[in-house]
Structure 1
Amino acid sequence: MNATAEQYLRQLDTARRPDLPETTAGTLRLDVRDDGSTDHWYLTVADQQVRVSRSADDAELVVRADRAVFDRMVRGELHPGAGLLRNELTVQGDMQLLMLLRRIFPGPDGARHPRELGRAALVGNGTTTARDERQ
Structure 2
Amino acid sequence: MGATAEQYLRQLDTGRRPDLPETTAGTLRLDVRDDGSTEHWYLTIADQHVRVTRSADDADLVVRVDRWVVDQMVNGELHPGAAMLRNELTMQGDMRLLLVLRRIFAGPAGARHPRELGRAALAGRTATGAREVRS
> 1:95 is paired with a residue of what secondary structure?
coil
Task: Quote the residue 2:116 is aligned against.
Answer: 116
The whole-number CA distance in structure 1 between the counterparts of 2:126 and 2:81 is: 38
1:57 corresponding residue in structure 2: 57
Note the C-alpha offset of 1:120.
4.5
Mapped to 1, the partners of 2:55 and 2:96 lie a distance apart of: 21
TM superposition shift of 1:36: 0.6
CA RMSD of aligned residues (A): 2.0
Provide the aligned length of Structure 1 versus Structure 2: 128
1:76 aligns with 76
For 1:95 and 1:13, the matched residues in 2 are separated by 22
The answer to whether the 8 A contact 1:62-1:91 is kept is: yes
* Bigger Cα displacement from structure 2, 119-128 vs 8-17: 119-128
Structure 2 residues not aligned, in runs of 5+ = 129-135
Paired with 1:89 and 1:98, the residues of 2 have a C-alpha distance of: 11
**Residue equivalent to 2:22:** 22
Matched, 1:13 2:13: yes
Structure 2 residue 88 is matched with structure 1 residue 97 = no
The unaligned stretches of length 5 or more in structure 1 are 129-135
Q: For the residues of structure 2 that align with 1:94 and 1:79, how far apart are their CA atoms?
A: 19
Say yes or no: does 1:35 pair with 2:35.
yes
- Greater displacement, 111-120 / 21-30: 111-120
Match of 1:3?
A: 3
CA distance in 2, matches of 1:60, 1:125: 44
| Correspondence for 2:132 | none
